[in-house]
Amino acid sequence: MQGTWNNKKVVLPDFIIPGAAKSGTTTLYRILQQHPDIFVPNRSKETYFFSYFDRDLPYEKEFVSQAVLNPIEYLSLFEKGRSASTIGEASIGYLYDHEACIKNMKRFYGDKLSNVKIVMILRNPVDRAFSHYNFLIRNGFEDLSFEMAISEKVVLKRKNIRPGFDYLNYGMYYEKVKAFKENFSECKVFLFEDLANYSKLTEELFSFLKVKRHSVQKDIKANPSGVPKSEWIVRLLRKNSFLKALYRMFPEKMQNKMLTTRDNLMSSFLKKTKLSEELRERVKPLFAEDIQKLEILIERDLSHWK
C-alpha cells in the first residue's frame, strides 16, 4: 500500500505475519513466495523492524544479523513489489514483542493502520517450545537440557542474549493475539495442524489476502529443527560461503526452490528427539489458562493442546 514517510511517498506492506516462532511461519512465507501476485522480500524474513525501530536492540548483534532497523533500508525492501497485488513481510519477533511492534506500526501507518491485514499461525505451546529448543541446538546456540533451559533462573539470565531463549513465554499467545485483534480489524489465525491440509490452508490464505487461487509446492520442510546426525553436514548446508555465493547468482524464484531443497535435505540429517511424557505433563499446566482463553478469542477448538 502507498504510505508517507518523511514527506515522501513509500511502499508499505499490506499484510504482516508476526509469528509464532517454530509454528510454520517460514512455511507460510515459502507458500506466499510462490504466488505470482504476492510480493514478500526474498531474503528478508525476520527484519525485526517494527519491534526495535528507534530503540536499542536487546540481543547480541551476531544473533540477529538479518535485522533491518533503518527506515530507508526497510522501506527499500518493498520497492520491487510496486506492481504486485499485495505486499507482505514476516517476523516472528513481532508477536513476542507485540507492544513495541504495534506502537511502531501506528507511527508508520497512521490512519492507514486499519488497512493492514495480520496473518498468524500458532502451535501447541509445549511442542513449540521443544521445537524452538531443538532449533537452537541445531544452530549450535543451546547446550543445556530442556528442563534446565526453561527454569526461571536460566531464562532470566539468558533471554536478552538472543531471540528464542524465553521458550515458554513465546507460547503464551493469548495477550499477544488479543493485542493484534484489538488493533487490526482483519486478523487470520491458522494453527500448525492446518498445514496438514495444504489445499484448504492455501485457499483460505489466498482468499484472505484477496488474490486468486494458485497451485504451490507441497511438503515444504522449512527451517527444520532437530539434533544434527552430522554436525559438519548441517553446518555446510547452513553456512557454507561458496553455496551462499552460488545461491545469490540465481533468480529469486530459483533461490526459493533452492532454499526448500536445502531444508528438505537438511531435515534428513537431523534426528528428531521426543520430549519425555513426564516433563511434558509438568509443563502443560503452565499453559492451561492461556489456552482456555485463546480458544475463545480465536474461536477454534484447542482441546488437543490441553
pLDDT, position 63: 63
Residue 180: pLDDT band with limits 50, 70, 90: very high
Which residue in 21, 5, 35, 92 sits closest to 217, CA to CA? 35
Distance of CA 64 to the CA centre of its chain: 14
pLDDT, position 159: 82
Q: What is the pLDDT of residues 26-81, one digit of tens each?
A: 999 989 999 999 999 986 678 989 998 888 777 766 666 778 989 999 999 999 99
CATH class of the 2-226+272-305 domain in this structure: alpha beta
Which residue in 125, 103, 106, 114 sits closest to 19, CA to CA? 125
Task: Give the range with max mean pLDDT: 31-45, 183-197, 222-236.
Answer: 183-197
Cell numbers at residue 217, please? Answer: 509446492
For residue 265, count CB atoms less than 10 angstroms from its CB and return exposed for 0-12, middle for 13-18, buried for 19 or more: middle
Percent share of the chain, pLDDT over 70: 80
pLDDT, position 46: 85
pLDDT, position 138: 80
Which of the residue ranges 37-51, 59-73, 139-153, 234-248 would you say has the lowest mean pLDDT? 234-248
Residues 91, 106: Cα–Cα separation, whole Å: 17
Cell numbers at residue 206, please? Answer: 489466498
pLDDT, position 58: 72
Residues 140, 118: Cα–Cα separation, whole Å: 32
Which residue in 291, 276, 105, 282 sits closest to 191, CA to CA? 291
Residue 254: pLDDT band with limits 50, 70, 90: low
Domain boundaries, the chain: 2-226+272-305
Residues 240, 262: Cα–Cα separation, whole Å: 12
How is 86-107 classified by DSSP, letter by letter? EEEEE-THHHHTHHHHHHHHHH
Q: Is the pLDDT of residue 126 over 90?
A: yes
Q: Is the pLDDT of residue 88 over 70?
A: yes
